[in-house]
Homo-oligomer: A and B are copies of this chain.
């Protein structure tokens, strides 16, 4: 199953992929394009990716999680292209025999994905301006797009 997609994230499809009567606990994380008080008037984020590398690196993250929490199943998805504010751009689902491992594997996978996957985002504001945004930048300090 491919991690990168240009379509809206299909939560049911992800849950189906890990469904197994032996796995009683399923944890999911959805990260959405945020437009809060501190975010400025963000209309959407335009995500781009180095797709081949994203796929191989995400497969490694999943393998590592399976090694650390035996029996856990992990899947994920990252939407690229234009994602409107309020819609999910990233999803991680981890199913495990019990809930502690499900939460741990889900959290670990999203943290590793944020750190390791070559994905970039450009914020699109309501006034039509754009800015590249790093994950470690404070919200009001996004790097302006060179003109």
Chain A contacts to B: CB under 8 angstroms = 11-12, 15, 19-37, 39, 85-86, 88, 97, 99, 102-103, 106-107, 110
Contact = CB atoms under 8 A, between A and B. Distances in A.
Contact of A37 (B12, B22, B33, B35): B22
* 6 nearest CB pairs, A to B: A24-B34, A22-B36, A21-B86, A21-B35, A26-B30, A28-B28
B22 A35 contact: yes
Contact of A97 (B33, B34, B99): B34
A91 to B, nearest CB: 9
Contact of A21 (B21, B32, B107): B32
Contacts of A15: 11, 30
Contacts of A86: 19-21
Nearest to A28: B28
Contact of A103 (B25, B85, B103): B103
B29 A29 contact: no
A27 B86 CA distance: 15
A37 B21 CA distance: 10
A54 B81 CA distance: 43
